[in-house]
Structure 1
Amino acid sequence: MSDWDDNGKSGWGVPERPAGPESSTGREAPENSRDWKLIEKLVMSLQSEQRRSRRWGIFFKLLTFGYLFLLLFLLRTPVTDGLGGVSTTSGSHTAMVTINGPIASDKVASADNIVSALRNAFEAENAKAVMLRINSPGGSPVQSGYVNDEIERLRQKHPDKKVYAVVTDLGASGAYYIAAAADEIYANKASLVGSIGVVGGGFGFTGLMDKLGVERRLYTSGENKAFLDPFSPEKPEEVDFWNQVLETTHEQFIEEVREGRGDRLRADEETLFSGLIWTGEQARALGLIDGLGSPGSVARDVVGAEEIVDYTHKRSPIRKLVDDLGIAIGSGLFDAVIESRLEMR
């Protein structure tokens, strides 16, 4: 039985290249050969396009899946920051609050965050004492003052709980302002402690503007509204006034250190309050700290409650992810370059 039907098609249903007119030599006509090659190219192009479409389809499906997974994660994760430090033990412990990094209203070490953690630590029923673990260069005198005042208030409210400040790497300026409110201060022998001073600075661009041919046009209502404008020449009377502000803030700092340390200070005030910074070993000799130790040794040997429970304000996972990715990079660049800032450091 023949594999071909009456119409000349294969019985297996496989189309054959159509037979075209042949030349006198028995070969296929050139124009038909070109047409067939064009058809083959078209078919190959369609197949390639299909493969490309499948790959993009897989990509977008994976992207959608990742988006849904992220959305589910966000729904199950707290968006706002919170407090740590729920004691898991029925015994006594040392409640720890960490002050890490610059002290400022827009930083993790803001007064709001630190004060909330301190209140939580003081109110913990099983907390035998509160320990401030400090590693900070200082920062805003306002934020540091808020924390200092709150520590004094909480000490009066909870007279049975002492406060111990432990400096790790750095406890300078505003960080020492906070530490001065503690009952006792400890540090490592190589820690950096002190820097009891105030600084306020900015930039002046008048020379650069002259070179570039830029003219400053500033319109104000109020004689001192453009006080210390970085694009205008300095005025001696404004500099004198600003120095008075710095001196007043410095005196407030000194007064808090005097009140907190009392007769434990063992050096002349001109040296202690000059803005210098010392090692932990030197600071102990000067009376700026009470002894050498670490958070663990202070909890064990001084407080008598070796277990440490951390009550520090915690960043939410989302906030931490955003910060780590650097989304907020440069958010304070204008303030840092243009504005004069008052800081304890």
Structure 2
Amino acid sequence: MGDRTAAGAEHLVHIGSFTSSGGRGITTAALDPATGALTELSTTGALADPSYLVAGAREGVLYAVSESDEGAAGAFIAEGRGLRALGAPVPVGGAGPTHLDVAGPWLLTAHYTSGGLGALAITGDGSLAGPPRVLHHHGSGPNPERQEGPHAHHVRADPSGRWVLSVDLGTDCVRVSALDGRTGTLRPHAETVLTAGNGPRHLAFHPDGEVAYVVNELRPLLTVCRWDAGAGALEPVAEVPIAVEPDSGPVPAAAPGDVRAYPSAIVVAPDGRFVWVAVRGTDTLVTFSLAAGPEEPRRTGAVDCGGRWPRDLALDPRHRRLYAANEHSGDVTWFDVDPVTGRPRRAGSLPVPAATCVLFG
């Protein structure tokens, strides 16, 4: 799903939300490419708690994960000014799935509650088919409240298309698996252990495909890693503090020193110049410059996220604006990005109850 530039075509944005917290499922909005403004068009509640969305390979198709005890995924296609479900939700084979990605003819899902990964077949029309192929994680971490067992929070196919990386908050590691493109079987290949107690949450690749950044939830740190696609090996090389206090402007409800910081989402600029991290608790968006090189992110500033509890952060298709899904304040706030400094500047917001993620259509 890219930026629709054909004459008369509408630029669509899809926003997930927690229906169990008052959200309306998936909201479809129109994007004004000149201003970045969003205007709500429609909603669909066909899937419970669609906490994360990903674009499919087929034009107009997207997938959503249902972060429920049962765990499911749904396929949708853009139709008019909204979405139509492509069949009923399909079980993913794990509880509390929090993330998903597309790898060829397979939809990959990360199962937070039960710990592990799943793979569902994508059919010719873009719909999903079971049964799920499941790979279970094992282990624990030093935090008894959050790391009593494995908690796969993120899954990502690497840029080469050869490997699947899963970020496990519960076991402080990133696992590398090989995906059988014919059967959907996930075979464990390697495991990269990060600092105990960090609670890794999400991962993003630098556009050169040789560096990956892991944002940690339990400690506000950014782990910089080298990625060897030939060997399927991830090597940590540095930990960079995510200083979360805003540089200026309003301070969150409690002073930053009195609240915990829970980094959530990470975005890397396609030109490789900046990294942005959303931080819940302190409710900030932190900017890092990569001017010194991909392995040396340097914090250059932080701004208020425009709401409370920024769960997701997305860059628009023209790479001019950032969009924060602020779960607790129930809005999506957008920011103009300074092309020289990378610093975001608040430009507007759209009310979306219990917003969880943003996907450009």
TM norm structure 2:
0.20
Greater RCO (CA < 8 Å, at least 6 residues apart): 1
TM norm structure 1:
0.21
User: Based on CA coordinates, which of the two structures has the bigger radius of gyration?
Assistant: 1
